[in-house]
Amino acid sequence: MTNEANKWTLTLSAALMLTLLYFVASGRQGSWPFGSPVIGADQWHSVKTVFVSLFLEALPFMLLGVLVSSVLQSFVSEAALARLIPRNPLLGVLCACLLGIVLPVCECGMIPVVRRLLRKGMPAYIGTTYILAAPIVNPVTVLATFSAFRAAPEMALYRTALGFAAAAAVGLLLYRFSGKTAYPLRADTGSHPHAGSHHLADSHPHVRSHLHPGSHHQAASAHAHRASRRAPSSRFLSFCSHAADEFFEMGKFLMLGAFLTALIQTFVSREELLALGGGVFGSHLLMMGYAYVISLCSTSDAFVAASFNGVFPASALLAFLVYGPMVDFKNTLMLLSAFKARFVLNLLLLATAAVLALSLLAGWWLRNAAS
């Protein structure tokens, strides 16, 4: 019953959002039954422009994430995944951070990939570390940051190092306090890995507690036997079906997040935000909040950060460059579509604390190095 209510709520929200988008795109806000006396045509045009740019910017990366997720679902077994995951937690976190170099998916494509990996049995702390680190350490982001800060190319190195350290810190904290047995996916996001993660549980004792006792061995064996007998055409059809379902499921939240972000960017001016930033601590919080609100892709946010060069200290710009790709408003909605709300809240708090503390520490180090 709860799942049906959630589906109806999401459907009605999407319908309302599409109605608003129709009026915004057509410029017919004046014909609304309730009117819009305080919102001008220029503002609606800005909402439309920002929404379209955000959506089109994120769409290819989300599609890439969906395709990777579908490949994992259809062609990668739990046993193969178990062989790839290090048993040592520290080594697992470090490998998750470096995985972004090998699999450079933008933050918009992270959610479907990691959700599939968690369903296959990957420990939650490793998957979460990958979500946080990959958008920052991937080569495309590094090159974009270097291009934006040509006068200070070291910012690209600082950003990568700070993002790596913050993601690793959050991953280790999750392992320390809840990572051994945590299963953070929502109950209505698909099949639980209990039925197909027997081999992974054997290889990783800290995942074994996810599995129900009793008949899970027979279920896993039957599942593996059926999967091994599937013809290539059947696997391809499964790949296409999963990709379509995943795309439309995640696409709804991407549209909603992009639209709400467009409203925030339009009606909350940059000058109002700048007025809030005072002092070193305040400037860091302000830039992190600004990164969360505007929800830019990690391959383009460096150019926005460069526009604040000389206005805020370099460490505050680093906080902006690291925090935004990890958690932003648009991504939070997508996280909530796949993960439990409590887990998302804990992740937000841990990421905020880690980025704030490490960026302040980086600022102290940069000031001492310059003096």
- Please state whether the predicted TM-score (pTM) of the whole model is above 0.75: no
* Tokens linked to 176: 């320390």
Q: Which pLDDT band holds residue 139 (cuts at 50, 70, 90)? A: confident
Q: What is the distance between the alpha carbons of residues 331 and 49, in angstroms, rounded to a whole number?
A: 20
- The yes-or-no verdict on residue 206 having pLDDT over 60 is no
Is residue 157 within 8 Å of residue 322, measured between CB atoms?
no
End-to-end CA distance of the chain: 63
Q: What is the distance between the alpha carbons of residues 160 and 153, in angstroms, rounded to a whole number?
A: 12
Q: Per-residue pLDDT tens for 272-293?
A: 666 666 678 888 998 899 889 8
Q: Per-residue pLDDT tens for 320-361?
A: 999 999 998 888 888 888 889 999 999 999 999 999 999 999
DSSP secondary structure letter of residue 193: G
Q: Which pLDDT band holds residue 32 (cuts at 50, 70, 90)? A: very low
* Tokens linked to 57: 């910017």
If one counts every other C-beta atom within 10 angstroms of the C-beta of residue 77, the result is 17
Q: Per-residue pLDDT tens for 107-126?
A: 666 787 788 788 878 888 99
Signed CA dihedral, 106, 109, 113, 118: sign only? positive
DSSP helix/strand/coil, 27: coil
260 versus 160: the higher-pLDDT residue is: 160
How much is the pLDDT for 58?
67
Cβ burial, residue 323 (10 Å; 0-12/13-18/19+): buried
Lowest mean pLDDT among 22-26, 288-292, 303-307: 22-26
Q: What is the mean pLDDT of the chain?
A: 74
Cβ burial, residue 17 (10 Å; 0-12/13-18/19+): middle
- The yes-or-no verdict on residue 227 having pLDDT over 50 is no
Residues near 53 by beta carbon (within 8 Å), at least 6 away in sequence = none
* Tokens linked to 72: 């994992």
The three-state DSSP-derived secondary structure of 275-310 is CCCCHHHHHHHHHHHHHHHHCCCCCCHHHHHHCCEC
Lowest mean pLDDT among 10-19, 61-70, 127-136, 266-275: 10-19
- The yes-or-no verdict on residue 12 having pLDDT over 90 is no
Only one residue has tokens 């599937």, namely 230
Mean pLDDT of the region 231-242: 73
Q: Which pLDDT band holds residue 84 (cuts at 50, 70, 90)? A: confident
Delimit the domains of the chain by residue range: 48-370
Is residue 329 within 8 Å of residue 292, measured between CB atoms?
yes
| CA neighbor of 133 nearest in space, from 166, 156, 102 | 166
How much is the pLDDT for 25?
52
